[in-house]
Structure 1
């Protein structure tokens, strides 16, 4: 059968550097850091005292108070970003066939704050199990797409992909395939995460995964820099409306880009560490290019996973050099995590949005906070350091990798 073409017709973002798609893009282009001291709890005894929090967010500005109380923050974020994307796509919800509209969402953790609070409440009590009746529905990772579909009446496929930090890129690829195969006309996809909590920060600190640059939070996320010491935890959501090309054209929708293809692979190596030679990463980028029917030399821009960890950054750049060969030096490579921090399961969604907007605007956002050369990184690679660069981006790739060796890659092209 002939696969259907799939395009992006709507975008929504709620991030540490902007609470809408346009604010997010402005923050990216201007090299804005979202890192600051944590405001959610007392950090005195924590190794890391900062994160990339969403700022100036009040759920009841967007949601009914009773409904907001039934949702963990990660689900609230999902609702806000998806509503923006649906509005941006100008979908007529009275005319669209809701049986053929699905919601495929990504979350690596889900309702961690809800889980944490309920357990702490029980531990601080007399042993009587007085749990909130909304404890489980608020916590489970699949509740975000469920809430989106319930609000809008979307009756197509509805589920959450969980592959750690690759979750929302995985969701985008699943959504692509669902439309390609003719099962849906439209899918709301993306991801959300809200893990800046006592449990989240404490757990990642215990793994020695987080930067401890407490004296300078805004410069702590420094992918590819020789002095990087770990990632900065972020939170938020990104949403994309994926639509079958003829369906979008028939209703006169604005088209941001075509979703050309995607790829998945596994490192099959370690619970948390990447393969030092990036073997799984090589395979996922090869798979993505093959799936899209494109050649390495077609790619103009790569938004890397680039978390600012000593091992991961080097392994990914080695893999890029292997896949793209001499063309690698012609690609604008960046890591927007230098600004947003690492949104875990939502990372793939907001980085896909950055890649799409780079195509639309002809600008590649920078990798900020770079001051020191890493001798293990090829100096000929263009890492788009410290300042955005103008570039006619026809094809953009977005890489996302997760604990457990999960690798996902999505590829967008100008239409």
Structure 2
């Protein structure tokens, strides 16, 4: 029971190819004693087969044969480990530039981002890209790990220069908390145990920071948002008047007796009851999935939203969106897409492509005709029916959309409403 109450930290790892992400994760798993003996035996055997005189901890995470043959990690892999203080889920994103969309996927639910930089190479385009995406997705914490310090003789000056360069770039971003740690994932310096090679560094180790960083909830507890997922109407005589609205709360706190408004109808009612797993509860908040009944018999259906009477979201059909394009098929203005927003789906048209963002400089590239895979661009959308939304900055759930291809049902983009 005690273990169930331990906090969960979701974090993402990102960096350029060969910056050592797999080795870092392997080192965390190994030094925190989160791997089984048979796994370690297999890795030791594989390391010897490859002729290494050390245990290649990256093999703990590079599990797919095809990945190892190419020497790259090609998808988002989720890893789990725990310490007595905290449980962790790692979203390990690939480093290649063509997998920006995977990084967006892995980082979308993260509380913290680890950005790896090779001490020999300094900041690269991917460093800028990943830092920008972390800022875009409003990840509250970032740890910049300057890796492979053993290959630059643990020189403080090398580390300090990278810290200065990153701070200069990050001054244009909106990441509230950035920490810097010099590490060697291969040798284990400053991962779980303090390094004896870098007496000049007085900060905490990586694991200590992961165990103690404040996990701030990104759930908006002010604006009450309850998208209706389904309507429950039992076909029995004793429950013939029952009409429950089931869904996940995407913001705010709801209590029986609260005055609420139903969108799009605008009808007002009072919450009669809230149930969780069939049991009545006295309050419900994000991200709980509950069933709500109202005093009045309102005709709500999937895609509608229940909100507070005097606190309604934006309602409209014209959206300004920052979109990460995920399809290998480029998109032009006047294209039709299907958008999914909370429990609502509707057809939309891309009215205008306003600009793309240059990841290195954060400058806008204007007068463009199309958006290509892994581009991040600002577009104007016109939806076929009104959408009830908040800005992504205000609410991650009601401020995000997914773009879907009507013909193939493929997810082609992820957007944040501005």
Question: TM-score with structure 2 length normalisation?
Answer: 0.27
Q: Mark the structure with the bigger radius of gyration.
A: 2
**Which structure shows the bigger proportion of residues in helix conformation?**
1
**Which structure shows the bigger proportion of residues in strand conformation?**
2
**Structure having greater relative contact order (Cα 8 Å, sep ≥ 6):** 1
